[in-house]
Amino acid sequence: MFKNTIDYDKVSKVYDQVRTGDPEMVHQILDGVSVTQDSLVLDMGCGTGNNTLLFAVASQSLVLGLDISFGMLEKAHEKKSSLPLVQAPADNLPFTSDSFDLVFMTEVIHHLPNILGSFEETYRILKRPGSLCIVTQSHAQIDHRMTSRFFPASAKIDKARYPDVDEIEDLLFKTGFNEVNPIPYVFKPVRLGNDYLETVTKRGYSMLHKIHTEDYERGLRDLQVAFASGEELSYSAEYTFIWSYKR
């Protein structure tokens, strides 16, 4: 598995300049599970709390955010000081067993150095019945990214970082989950504008920190030419929502 060397405390200083919460993603999670104001939910790898806050408002449940980066959690705390936040690695969770009704992670799994250990800890803290939702991208979905068009080296690197869906399924069953249900989902198409160009220019996508400088600079030039020529760049993000259940 690809070794992760990203300094998340450093990334936290610019993270919110290039990333926001995703209401469509949050509502897609909520469509797949029943939660109430009495439910206890964990956002694993919450970053600066963007989706944590969206989920708390949309579900009215008690949502905790967990991240290994103190810098990310500081930013989340600035947004809402009452938001429950915990700093800990995903493979050593400081929670009692059978505590949570739902654990979700959005675009997190490829950052985990110990995926099996993280799944085992997630299974431990889930109630019975309890649900885990992993939002990730299959290798085919990675190939369909706009960044893969302009930065093809990034697709190769991310397919080394991201376990493919069948590998995730195998690990979940190995952990003890009774049922695993991967659901591919295509988001509404969006026209990419200057905000996308700005995100790429700031290397706001983690895979752009992994490719060689010349690959990045070449891709950035090609992207700038596409914008300058008036090409309309439209993109529908593709994700897989992998649901697993502790019955």
* C-alpha to C-alpha distances, 212 to 45, 83, 157, 215, 218, nearest whole angstrom: 27, 38, 11, 5, 10
* C-alpha to C-alpha distances, 69 to 47, 66, 77, 149, 235, nearest whole angstrom: 8, 9, 13, 31, 30
- Pairwise CA distance, residues 67 & 8, whole Å: 10
Position 207 scores a pLDDT of 85
How does pLDDT run across 122-171, given as a tens digit for each residue? 999 999 999 999 999 999 999 999 999 999 999 999 999 999 999 999 99
- Pairwise CA distance, residues 188 & 197, whole Å: 19
β-pairing verdict for 238-246 and 126-136: antiparallel
Position 4 scores a pLDDT of 46
Residue the block writes with tokens 């009215």: 60
Residues in Cβ contact with 82 at an 8 Å cutoff, skipping those fewer than 6 apart: none
Three-state DSSP class for residue 226: helix
Q: Which of 228, 209, 235, 53 is nearest to 144 (CA)?
A: 235
Residue 221, number of CB atoms within 10 A of its CB: 11
Position 20 scores a pLDDT of 63
Domain spans in the chain, listed from the N-terminal domain onward: 8-143+155-190+236-246
**How far is C-alpha 229 from the geometric centre of its chain's CA atoms?**
33
Flag residues of the chain having pLDDT under 70.
1-20
- Pairwise CA distance, residues 193 & 234, whole Å: 9
Position 10 scores a pLDDT of 53
Q: Which of 1, 247, 20, 231 is nearest to 112 (CA)?
A: 1
Locate 188 and state its tokens.
């509404």
Q: Residue 72 — left, alpha, or beta (φ > 0 → left; ψ -120 to 50 → alpha)?
A: alpha
Position 222 scores a pLDDT of 98
Domain 8-143+155-190+236-246 is of which CATH architecture? 3-Layer(aba) Sandwich (3.40)
Position 1 scores a pLDDT of 31
* pTM recorded for the entire structure: 0.88
Position 100 scores a pLDDT of 98
User: What does the radius of gyration of the chain's CA atoms come to, in whole angstroms?
Assistant: 18
Residues in Cβ contact with 123 at an 8 Å cutoff, skipping those fewer than 6 apart: 132, 175, 176, 177, 246
Locate 12 and state its tokens.
């936290």
- HEC string of 72-98 equals HHHHHHHHCCCCCEEECCCCCCCCCCC
